[in-house]
A and B are shown apart, each in its own frame.
Chain A
Amino acid sequence: MPEKKPESSSGSPNGFEPKIVAFFCNWCTYLAADLAGTSRMKYAPNVRVIRVMCSGRIDPQFVLDAFAKGADGVLIGGCHPGDCHYQEGNYKALRRYRLLKRVLREMGIEEERFHLEWISASEADRLKSTVNNMVEKVRTLGPLRLETKSELFPEEVTVS
């Protein structure tokens, strides 16, 4: 696991720290995170990394579930086009990502909360900047608060 320390003390004034769920593929992006860690790079500690064997394994249900259970953003990391360990898993991830993005938009979830980036095993710098950028964008958007809604679901329905 990468060593996670904040890039700077740029915590938001209102104390909001975004929770980002990151699905990283075993062969490229997870190794980049590993490299970032062994290289003692510092980046925002807001990502919770979940290692999957391939970005093609990321079922849209995982992303929806992450949002429903409290993620403020979801990041997908996979191998660059042509580099997939399983040949075309990352292409399938890209197709699902593009379609799911449209559905999320219609559900009122801002575009910046869901991001896909190709990051190879050697691109620790790219991992660092991707995570930092995403955390900043989501911090600006503020909390998604879907999980609170779900807990309150029976009570929140109001009657005219």
Chain B
Amino acid sequence: MMQPAAMPQNAKPKVALYWCASCGGCEEAVVDLSEKILDVVSAVDIVFWPVALDFKRKDVEAMPDASILASFVNGAIRTTEQEEMAHLLRQKSKVLIAFGSCAQLGGIPGLANLWSRETIFQTVYQESPSTVNPEGTVPKSLYRENGNCVNLPGFFDTVRALDQVVDVDYSVPGCPPTPKIVAQAIETLLSGALPPKGTVLAPDRALCEECPRKDTRPEKLTLQAFKRPHELVIDEEKCLLVQGVVCLGPATRGGCEALCTRGNMPCTGCFGPTSRVQDFGGKALSAIASIVDSNDEGEIDRILSTIPDPLGTFYRYSLPSSSLRRKKVAVAPGTKH
């Protein structure tokens, strides 16, 4: 990788990259810029990027406030450490960017909001078939032994999107963001012509608009059963919805150039909603339900039963940023949880 020490000390704008609760795919997305990354590196000074460069938190703390042009933060906020880093990078940066679905909407880690922290710990550290933990060890934020103290970040009960924790200027959507979207976002930043705060740096139109299968979709579409991709041989040219596959293209923001539908797989909604939609899952659900081909309640239920997990299907990337944000967990009155 690059040699940070060898970077010339000139007036190049500074950029930071950080990851929170994420899989690492967004880090890959930066590397996916391939040779374009050389242009990026020659245009900016990367001052913090734990996955690739050996800078520490104290290096960031030592920087003057707002001295970083832009911080790209991927991942949702699940632990106290991630929250602290989000605040720190906010303080040190002129522009804070939620990079990828998890930072923008909560992402797949956000589906953990269907359970409480206790249930998650119970499952992960006790009950899962591959776990051997006779002493019942679970993570603690503080552990003392022989006068030594060990600290671990605390684990929040609820996963949050980045803008539910700190003020965010822009979002770059995608799971992960595609090289083109990333390159455009960096270009926009360096151009100095910044869009209005809150802008999602991707086209504001539905994915169907850029899908090569668009013309095979009839004006009026109705379905008597939904199918999961492994249940049929998918035609490579026909609209996936016409074939009965739940494709969220009608409700999802475009900009990925229909990567998944070109790869013969349905859109799962990672680019999130367009600017006119508040609750992505609600809108996606609405689009899919309205094409059910029946007016009879029992038959409607039968057809919809072919979607086995509606919540996971429609809120796959956006549960923490949805209207309800998490499952309602029964609590005794007056207690926080």
Chain A positions within 8 Å of B, measured between CB atoms, are 59-61, 63-65, 67-68, 81, 88, 91-92, 94-96, 98-100, 102-103, 106-109, 144, 146, 149-150, 152-160
Contact = CB atoms under 8 A, between A and B. Distances in A.
Contacts of A91: 295
Contacts of A157: 156-158, 160
Interface stretch (B6-14, B48-56, B93-101, B281-289): B281-289
Contact of A158 (B114, B314, B330, B337): B337
A156 B336 contact: yes
A139 to B, nearest CB: 16
Contact of B292 (A95, A107, A146, A158): A95
Interface in B287-320: 288-290, 292, 294-295, 297, 300-301, 304, 307, 310-311, 314-315
B198 interface: no
A156 B117 CA distance: 13
Contacts of B327: 106-108
Contact of A103 (B157, B294, B314): B314
Interface size class of B (residues with CB under 8 A): 35 or more
Nearest to A61: B282
B300 A95 contact: yes
Contacts of B282: 59-61, 63-64, 100
Contacts of B329: 108
A108 B115 CA distance: 10
B140 interface: yes
B150 to A, nearest CB: 14
Interface in B103-141: 114, 117, 139-141
Nearest to B114: A106
11 contacts: A64-B279, A64-B324, A65-B323, A68-B324, A88-B295, A96-B286, A98-B289, A150-B325, A152-B336, A156-B337, A157-B156
Contacts of B323: 61, 64-65, 67-68
Contacts of B155: 159-160
Contacts of A155: 336
Nearest to B329: A108
Nearest to A91: B295
- Interface-centre pick from A61, A81, A100, A152 (highest chain B CB count, 10 A): A61
Interface of A is mostly: helix
A135 B332 CA distance: 23
A158 B336 contact: yes
B164 A154 contact: yes
Contact of A98 (B141, B154, B160, B301): B301
Contact of A160 (B140, B307, B324): B140
B322 interface: yes
Given A98-B301, A108-B327, A61 B311 contact: no
A100 to B, nearest CB: 6
B197 interface: no
- 4 tightest A-B CB contacts, nearest first: A159-B154, A108-B328, A64-B323, A60-B282
A67 B327 CA distance: 12
A92 B322 CA distance: 22
B31 interface: no
Given A64-B322, A160-B155, A146 B285 contact: no
Contacts of B259: none
B160 A60 contact: no
Contacts of A144: 328
B278 interface: yes
Given A64-B322, A108-B328, A160-B154, A100 B300 contact: no
B77 to A, nearest CB: 9
Contacts of A94: 295, 297, 300
Contacts of A107: 114, 311, 324, 327-328
Given A94-B297, A95-B292, A158-B156, A65 B281 contact: no
Nearest to A150: B325
Contacts of B336: 152, 155-156, 158
Contacts of B300: 94-95, 98
B295 A59 contact: no
Interface string B68-112: 000000000000100000000000000000000000000000000
